[in-house]
Structure 1
């Protein structure tokens, strides 16, 4: 009997666990739960004899993967997978997958919500503005950005995008693609970041890009803090006193924001993009189905460590 471990510091909702359990029960798999664990040692004790694992933001580094003697596949229930050491997994012939698109609407709604919160002066009582008629710039054009576009267009916003790899797809649905990232930031009233924290995107939001923002614009980040050059962000916040930064990722330089930029920023207490009941269920069920497909059919469609 195959053993499947769900290892989640931030656990799935009970309804999601119930649906995941049904999928594995049908195949005769044994489901094990490690939820709300408080130390890496707990994970290290449970991982050695499981065949597969479903995780969320949990760290699967080389130490964890080396301890996983039987592990064949780990699925990150969500889009980002920078919490998994891909090189270590590849060395051990462990397949790593994510579940792209399952959380995208939840994150998109949060991005729009943060934009509203910012433009309405964080509901402080000060007169704010409206999104209708404003230009929204999408930095990246993945699943989340496409949902942001759908919502923003319905709210009467003009939406533009910068993407290197999906220009034709963006143009096909009526989006204007800017010639450069700098042009996107220059022309936007609100910029929403939707790129992964890897490769060329690490610290890609630098001073050379940020300096093109309008004073009074809003920068929304529901991606990862690693895509921001925080030193440059602090510099531009000082140079443009009307700029706001809204994010569901608390930056390492939070103390500087608290000290210098009161009323011009907001960070959720924990990463909140995928924290909806619907996204919770969608991502968990997708992860379970991908594990079954891998073992029963050899399906590696969503493998990320190829």
Structure 2
């Protein structure tokens, strides 16, 4: 069986795939090489590459697309289902890593760590008295996380993990907005459910986003929502670009209530290097790397490869996204 692999995944996952399948790789990084490599494959491991109708046309023998991760915005799920192609993902495999980055962002924003590093780089050597002046010049007085209020959009595997960590470590008061998780379930991990997002936003010190990008969530946090937040609030997004409207966020950082924000995901990836949001002094930006830890890459890579191999051996997959395909086979 032939399996396409054109992106970097954990070496252990690569070794497992090479041991059990013929791995097909593109000759170079061009789009044409990518499309050529799809011609005779039975399955593929897809990390960030887009797989839509054109790609599926080229991969006429493809039976499975194994997403290296959880999000499905890079795969045309309806088209795959129509063609009888199974799509799997790796739920929970990067949960700890993404949750830890979200918490790291909150700490970095609260304590103004990027600004403090900049201040240190501009401090005259050996002048201890300059410290006090730097605190004022760079406005380095931060806030504690202890006892602050946190709002979470999306309280699934990652959102609930963030909640547990923030409650355990900082005794934060956590509210959650998620139409698909009951109040009883949220209560089990210490979160108070809110039925309407607009009821939560004015009350919280920090907002963190952990829902998928869908037509329902696209632009969910926009100009109106950001304007309703309390003065000095912070926004964190480690989910998907497009859920938080970047133009509205820039306006809220410049003249609205938002004191700082941290984005690991962007509407356009990578963003324009000249994007003013990317260069805002109160914005922490990272290159969609929340799940990029040694442990997470190992878990995600192994699960994705095991799903491909399992399915191509005729065994039922563990994490089918469109299980209706299996019923037709």
Which band: TM-score by shorter chain?
Answer: 0.7 to 0.9
Structure showing greater radius of gyration is 2
Shift of 1:185: 1.5
Q: Look up the match of 2:2.
A: 3
Q: Look up the match of 1:134.
A: 148
Counterpart check, 1:58 vs 2:49: yes
Q: Which runs of 4+ in 1 moved over 4 A?
A: 251-254
Q: Look up the match of 1:282.
A: 299
Q: Judge conservation of contact 2:164–2:189 (CA < 8 Å) in 1.
A: no
Shift of 1:297: 4.5
Q: Judge conservation of contact 1:250–1:267 (CA < 8 Å) in 2.
A: no
Cα gap change, 1:84 to 1:37, in 2 (>3 Å): farther
Cα gap change, 1:179 to 1:91, in 2 (>3 Å): closer
Distance (Å, rounded) in 1 between the aligned partners of 2:161 and 2:204: 18
Q: CA RMSD in A?
A: 2.2
Counterpart check, 1:266 vs 2:284: yes
Q: Look up the match of 1:220.
A: 236
Q: Look up the match of 2:123.
A: none
Shift of 1:33: 5.2
Matched residue count: 294
Output aligned runs, 1:8-87, within 5 Å.
8=7, 11-18=8-15, 20-21=16-17, 25=19, 29-32=20-23, 34=25, 37-87=28-78
Counterpart check, 1:146 vs 2:166: no
The correspondence for 2:310, drawn from 282, 286, 293, is 293
Q: Look up the match of 2:136.
A: none
Aligned residue for 2:6, secondary structure, equals: strand
Q: Deviations over 1:207-226 (max 9, x none)?
A: 23222211111100001111
Aligned residue for 2:216, secondary structure, equals: helix
Shift of 1:58: 1.2
Distance (Å, rounded) in 1 between the aligned partners of 2:226 and 2:27: 38
The correspondence for 1:88, drawn from 68, 79, 83, is 79
Aligned residue for 2:292, secondary structure, equals: coil
Cα gap change, 1:298 to 1:14, in 2 (>3 Å): closer
Distance (Å, rounded) in 2 between the aligned partners of 1:242 and 1:95: 42
Q: Look up the match of 2:120.
A: none
Distance (Å, rounded) in 2 between the aligned partners of 1:116 and 1:35: 41
Shift of 1:12: 1.4
Aligned residue for 1:45, secondary structure, equals: helix
Q: Judge conservation of contact 2:2–2:24 (CA < 8 Å) in 1.
A: no
Q: Judge conservation of contact 2:52–2:76 (CA < 8 Å) in 1.
A: yes
Q: Judge conservation of contact 2:65–2:85 (CA < 8 Å) in 1.
A: yes
Q: Look up the match of 1:237.
A: 253
Instruction: Give unpaired runs (5+ residues) of structure 1.
Output: none
Deviation larger for 67-76 or 290-299? 290-299
The correspondence for 1:166, drawn from 181, 193, 207, is 181
Distance (Å, rounded) in 1 between the aligned partners of 2:218 and 2:283: 22
| TM-score normalised according to structure 2 size | 0.82
Shift of 1:92: 2.2
Q: Judge conservation of contact 1:137–1:184 (CA < 8 Å) in 2.
A: yes
